[in-house]
Amino acid sequence: MLAPLAGGQGRSWRAGLVVLKPKSGDGPEAIEWLSGFVAAMNPGGAFRVAAPVPSSAGEWTVDGWQASNWLEGSHLPGAWDRVLEVSAHFHRAATVACSTKPGVLDGHDDPWSTGDRIAWGEREPDPTWPASVLGALDRLRPLLDSGSRPDVHAQVIHGDLGGNVVFADDAGLAPAVIDVSPFWRPAPYADAIVVADAVAWDGAPLTLAIRFLAHEPDGTGDELLARAIAFRLATAAVHWPALPARVDAEVDAYAPLLPLLRS
């Protein structure tokens, strides 16, 4: 019995203990690596994590679909601090599960990977993008060009935790991390994305971002939050080239964060 699921861009389905979704841009090697990475994690009871599931024939994709474990839980509005707590546990376990950069991450070629590379100065924005995006990126440029190296303290991170931590408190279960989106970046960058998304889309107060900025040492919080915003805006420009109004809405959503950043 198939049941549609919220999230996953509206294309995910539950079939018993398995979640099915259309194949991502990742090849079989990347999906197999992700399965091994998740299997190597030791949550220590602090969280659960969904792993890719192969077919009965050992294949990671079948007819354009891929599968992962179903984990009980649901999104909990306003649980930003709890998500950040899960992030700390997840990223500590991630450093043990994978200590060197996986080569498969270099092969990722999708809007999110492009947005991430632009946020870290590894690619240049497309000059044909909407003026709203280019203007915001120009405003962020002093922080994006601050000189930090992406590989310093980098590790495997989950680059989209905000909507992918679900809670099942009534069942007495630990929070669950789903739909792992791996990048090789510093762990606080993952937290910056959580914070930026929470303010933009989940009704979080600006004080959440202010706390994040104050928590990171030596002003690095400003840089990380700037990169998180740039990541989302560049990704939107790549993902919706024919929908400039949709891209402008992204710029408007993250705009309240910009005055908080040092120039």
Lowest mean per-residue pLDDT among 17-21, 125-129, 153-157:
17-21
- 30 plus 65 within the same structural domain: yes
What average pLDDT does the segment 48-64 reach? Answer: 84
For residue range 185-204, what is the model confidence (pLDDT) as tens digits? 999 999 999 999 999 999 99
Domain count, the chain: 2
The distance of Cα 93 from the centroid of its chain, to the nearest Å, equals 17
Lowest mean per-residue pLDDT among 131-135, 139-143, 215-219, 252-256:
215-219
What is the span of the domain harbouring residue 53?
Answer: 2-69
- 64 plus 92 within the same structural domain: no
Of the candidates 48, 69, 90, which is a domain's last residue?
69
For residue range 60-78, what is the model confidence (pLDDT) as tens digits? 778 878 888 899 999 999 9
Distances (CA, A) of 207 to 100, 195, 245, 254: 35, 10, 28, 14
Of the candidates 42, 69, 96, which is a domain's last residue?
69
Average pLDDT across the chain, whole number: 91
With 0.85 as the threshold, say if the pTM is over it: yes
Residues 6+ apart with CB under 8 A from 254: 136, 196, 199, 200, 229, 232, 233
- 211 plus 99 within the same structural domain: yes
pLDDT of the residue at 148: 61
Of the candidates 69, 103, 128, which is a domain's last residue?
69
**185 domain-assigned:** yes
Task: With a cut of 90, say whether residue 55 has pLDDT above it.
Answer: no
